[in-house]
Structure 1
Amino acid sequence: MSADLKPADPRRLYQQIADRVRERIVSAEYPVGSKLPPERDLAQQLGVSRPSLREALIALEIDGSVEIRMGSGIYVCQPALQRVGRPAPMGESPAELMQARAAVEGAVAVIACANSTAEGLARVKESIEAMRADIAAGLDVLDHDREFHVRIAEMSGNSVLVTLVGTLFDERRSPLASAMRDRLENLPTFEAALSEHEQIYRALVSRDPLAAQAAMRSHIQAAADRWVYT
């Protein structure tokens, strides 16, 4: 981590990085209308990871400081010079969110596997089929994706875990996560997620806790790779 970024700072890391980029804009190091350095170079200059920088840049785009032009680059916008200060909260870091989900839901899958019932499994299967129908109709799968994960948590028999899984998933609706989803999720990513859900379901049906845990963690890591680390 760069020395300029403070672990004790209560703000999220992407907000700290966004502040540093904004400071360079205000100081005219990156003049209005100019193109920022390539993402890889900018990450090296700031001493941060590319996923964290990407989150910061999307946060800056949401507040109007920069414009991300796919295939062209990232350009400084006029409003940036009029907005000195910290960006408004835009949700949790998607990278940290997915890391937390992998830890929590991997454990949930183990408990759900031990407590699975025919009725609970039928509800999980129902969510998979609803997601399949969404894909066929060209709809967003987010609602049934959430339902799938929550219904697995429900099989754990632990209401705290049900609430936690739902709360973590709902961070995908935050301004930052939503902006990243809009850019990076599409029909192929939906289909990949559906296939991964089916693998988790098969492990639950087999009552194999280690396979269920591995399948859940693999799914969440794959989801992160698709819309966080791409």
Structure 2
Amino acid sequence: MPLHTIEPQRLYRQIAGQLRDLMVEGEFSVGSRLPAERELAQQLGVSRPSVREALIALEVEGIIEVRTGSGIYVKSRSAANNNPSTDQDTPDDWGPLEVISARIVVESEVAALAAQNAGKAHLKAIRAALRRMQDEAARGEVPRWGDEAFHESIAEACGTSVLLDTVRRFWQARNGPLFERLGAHFEHSTSWQAAISEHQQVLWAIEERNSAAARRAMQKHLRQAHKRYSASWRRAPAR
């Protein structure tokens, strides 16, 4: 059953479907190692981030197992036979790396607007969220709640309810199973310390009422987040 080029519609789900079908047909047996991410991307004619999203989806389904430093292995053919519906349209089903790409576009402008429109109460909420992130990290916790509060507080400060709702939808996806699994591989104390520093730069720009600097700081933060989640499986540090 040869691989074939995929049309870009719910791309990672189409990739996952092809790989799942190959497992059901027996071309990838239980315990066998899948081709490397780069090789799969070349054969399918898609980007590596899309392949990564597909692999994460298959891991969430229990079909494959990612062994950092070793490779990606078929875990269960029976799980592969239980082909899930691919017509969902909820944030839980959005591809994590695609979400981050969208956030770069949207939240950079949200930060720029917040620099113009934030009142004292908004600034207080953003500062409190950053402190919560710092406190959570200091306790050895994943500072996800502080992170969410930080971005939502900036969206509240931007003065546009539609953008606030959009950012909240992003966070529905961020708290979903695909993001959770991706974070299990690539979130660690070093990455979170870097993220907290990037958040501080965003806050400073908003406090200075510098829209251009706030836009740049948010773009930098989210691009770095995309880079962190796109790192080599082999180089992902231990948690």
Task: Give the TM-score normalised by structure 2.
Answer: 0.87
The corresponding residue for 1:43 is 41
The aligned amino acid for 2:130 is: I
Cα deviations across residues 156-177 of structure 1 (Å, max 9, x unaligned)?
2222222211221221111111
Is contact 2:63–2:80 with CA below 8 Å preserved after alignment? no
How far apart are the structure 2 equivalents of 1:110 and 1:82?
45
What is the percent sequence identity of the aligned residues? 39
Cα deviations across residues 151-204 of structure 1 (Å, max 9, x unaligned)?
111112222222211221221111111100111101111111110111011111
Is contact 1:180–1:227 with CA below 8 Å preserved after alignment? yes
How far apart are the structure 1 equivalents of 2:230 and 2:174?
11
Out of 105-114 and 42-51, give the one that drifted further: 42-51
How far apart are the structure 2 equivalents of 1:62 and 1:105?
28
How far apart are the structure 1 equivalents of 2:211 and 2:149?
21
Out of 82-91 and 187-196, give the one that drifted further: 82-91
Is contact 2:62–2:79 with CA below 8 Å preserved after alignment? no
Change (3 A) 1:73 1:122: same
Unaligned runs of 5+ residues in structure 1 are none
The corresponding residue for 1:197 is 199
Is contact 2:64–2:72 with CA below 8 Å preserved after alignment? yes
- SS, match of residue 75 in structure 1: strand
How far apart are the structure 2 equivalents of 1:79 and 1:139?
35
> Within the alignment, does 1:96 sit opposite 2:98 as a pair?
yes
Cα deviations across residues 49-72 of structure 1 (Å, max 9, x unaligned)?
111111111211221221211211
Change (3 A) 1:196 1:78: closer
Task: Give the TM-score normalised by structure 1.
Answer: 0.90
Change (3 A) 1:52 1:108: same
> Within the alignment, does 1:126 sit opposite 2:124 as a pair?
no
Is contact 1:66–1:75 with CA below 8 Å preserved after alignment? yes
Count of residue pairs the alignment pairs up: 226
Change (3 A) 1:82 1:109: closer
How far apart are the structure 2 equivalents of 1:82 and 1:222?
33
Unaligned runs of 5+ residues in structure 2 are 233-239
The corresponding residue for 2:237 is none
- SS, match of residue 93 in structure 2: coil
The corresponding residue for 1:162 is 164
The corresponding residue for 1:24 is 22
